[in-house]
């Protein structure tokens, strides 16, 4: 984007935001929606995987506490 000299009388405003000059056609919008849906599916899977890891960690912490040993020792000896 180029700046053009303007007098105060013109009262024109030039945007410094390049996103205001981007127009999306139907194909661009469809591609964006598909990419966003794919991103959301991957993020949901990632969240579920993180929940599973947390549940496993808590399980081993409870088991180690039941045996009154550290988690590291429990994993080394019983898993």
Prediction pTM value: 0.57
Could you tell me the two tokens for 77?
A: 């000896």
Could you tell me the two tokens for 24?
A: 């999306």
Q: What's residue 55's pLDDT?
A: 98
3-state secondary structure the chain: CCCCCCCCCCCCCCCCCHHHHCCCCHHHHHHHHHHHHHHHHHHHHHHHHHHHHHHHHHHHHHHHHHCCCCHHHHHHHHC
Is 68 inside a domain boundary? yes
Residues 34-40 have a mean pLDDT of: 97
Is 70 inside a domain boundary? yes
| Residues spanned by the domain of 62 | 55-79
Is 20 inside a domain boundary? no
Domain count for the chain, please give it. Answer: 1
Is 72 inside a domain boundary? yes
Is 13 inside a domain boundary? no
How far, in Å, CA of 57 to CA of 46, rounded?
17
Is it the case that residue 41 has pLDDT exceeding 80?
Answer: yes
Is 23 inside a domain boundary? no
Is 38 inside a domain boundary? no
Is 67 inside a domain boundary? yes
């Amino acid at each position: 984007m180029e700046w053009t000299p303007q007098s105060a009388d013109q009262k024109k405003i030039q945007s410094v935001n390049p996103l205001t000059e981007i127009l999306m056609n139907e194909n661009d919008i469809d591609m964006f929606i598909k990419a966003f849906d794919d991103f959301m599916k991957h993020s949901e899977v990632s969240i579920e995987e993180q929940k599973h890891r947390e549940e496993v960690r808590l399980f081993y912490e409870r088991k180690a506490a039941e045996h009154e040993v550290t988690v590291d020792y429990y994993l080394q000896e019983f898993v």
